[in-house]
Amino acid sequence: RQLGEKGYYVIVFIVASGAAGYFLFGGSPMWGAVAAGISVIAFSSVLFPRRYAADEEGIEVRTWYSRTRRKWSEFRRIEPFPHGVTLLTRAKEGRFEHLRSLDVFLPEDSEEIKAFIEDKLEGSLGGREAEEG
């Protein structure tokens, strides 16, 4: 698996934080391990990337610690960002929107995937608007 340049910086940081914990707390290996462990958890999104599976009903997100399934009907809009798209749950922007949204990181050649997601959201919104109207 390739970590990329960012991943190597993260590994260097984890080792450095472990060393700092060791030396700052009187040479205690326990504190070095605690500092390194906290760093691994903090950077888990870089070290253990998410895996996505999208189908007709929704999208599944798998990480090293969980598996979550969300239906297309939960999302109201889509916004692109440099490395993928964000699926948002409200029609208007809100203060806590980022807590409910889903960031989907995509490879560089992902136009087909973006089109599939947009199609599913449009289909989901169209059905919901017909029910409400």
Question: pLDDT tens, 38-81?
Answer: 999 998 877 888 889 989 899 999 988 889 999 988 888 888 88
Closest C-alpha among 84, 70, 17, 130 to residue 122: 130
Dihedral of CA 97/65/61/13: which sign? positive
Note whether 71 and 100 are same-domain residues: yes
**Rg (alpha carbons) of the chain, rounded to whole number:** 20
Note whether 41 and 70 are same-domain residues: no
Note whether 33 and 58 are same-domain residues: no
Note whether 63 and 113 are same-domain residues: yes
pLDDT at residue number 37 = 95
Q: Which domain holds residue 18?
A: 4-47
Band of pLDDT at residue 6, cut at 50, 70 and 90:
confident
Note whether 103 and 124 are same-domain residues: yes
Please name the helix (run of DSSP H) or strand (run of DSSP E) that holds residue 68, with its range, or none: strand 67-71
Q: DSSP character for 50?
A: -
pLDDT at residue number 60 = 94
Q: What is the pLDDT of residues 88-124, one digit of tens each?
A: 887 777 777 777 888 888 887 788 888 888 888 887 7
pLDDT at residue number 126 = 59
Note whether 58 and 40 are same-domain residues: no
Flag whether pLDDT at 12 surpasses 90. Answer: yes
CB 77 within 8 A of CB 88: yes
Note whether 32 and 57 are same-domain residues: no
